[in-house]
Amino acid sequence: MKGEKTKSLVFYPDRCLGCRICETICAVEHAGMINPERSRIKVIKNDEKGLDAVGVCVQCKEAPCIASCSVDAILRNNDYIINIDQELCALCGLCVEACPYGGISLDEQSGEFIICDLCGGNPACVKWCPTNAIQYTQLSEGENKKIWEAHLSILRSVEKTEVLQ
């Protein structure tokens, strides 16, 4: 609905230290181990440009990942959170290519594509970020879109290959 406020992750790059605590805690929460490669959030660094950003599913309304999935393995649950049905997933990778935010990645250990599930509404990355660079907050659709469009321009400033790793 127009004007309705939904909770969303918001990233403030000016606060990010590039410490990668968000990656570590995400891997612990979801994979039970300290292994940032298994994280659903990725810190993207460009030391030359002095940029730190995150690649994470922003639960966008347009959801190009859903539209790109030819086997309907990506859908929204009752809480409007995007999920991947691993049993249906064909592992084609079209969703990874479709997501402009670098929000879907392949967990090479499990062989599955993974996406942020907002930790069931209590994102661990938000709780553990020492500088509050990541927040889970309620925004109108317009506010959310404006913030993530700005974030997308930062992501585009960093090499695309880094975003998709």
For residues 82 and 109, what is the distance between their CA atoms, to the nearest angstrom? 22
What percent of the residues of the chain are helix, what percent strand, and what percent coil, each to the nearest 5? Answer: 35, 25, 40
User: In this model, does residue 107 exceed pLDDT 70?
Assistant: yes
Single pTM value for the model? 0.83
User: Minimal CA–CA distance to 61: which of 140, 136, 133?
Assistant: 140
CB 75 within 8 A of CB 66: yes
pLDDT in tens, 75-102: 998 888 999 999 999 999 999 999 988 8
Look at residue 67 and give its three-state secondary structure.
helix
Q: What CATH architecture is 5-163?
A: 2-Layer Sandwich (3.30)
User: In this model, does residue 159 exceed pLDDT 80?
Assistant: no
pLDDT in tens, 18-63: 899 999 999 999 999 999 999 999 998 878 777 788 888 988 888 9
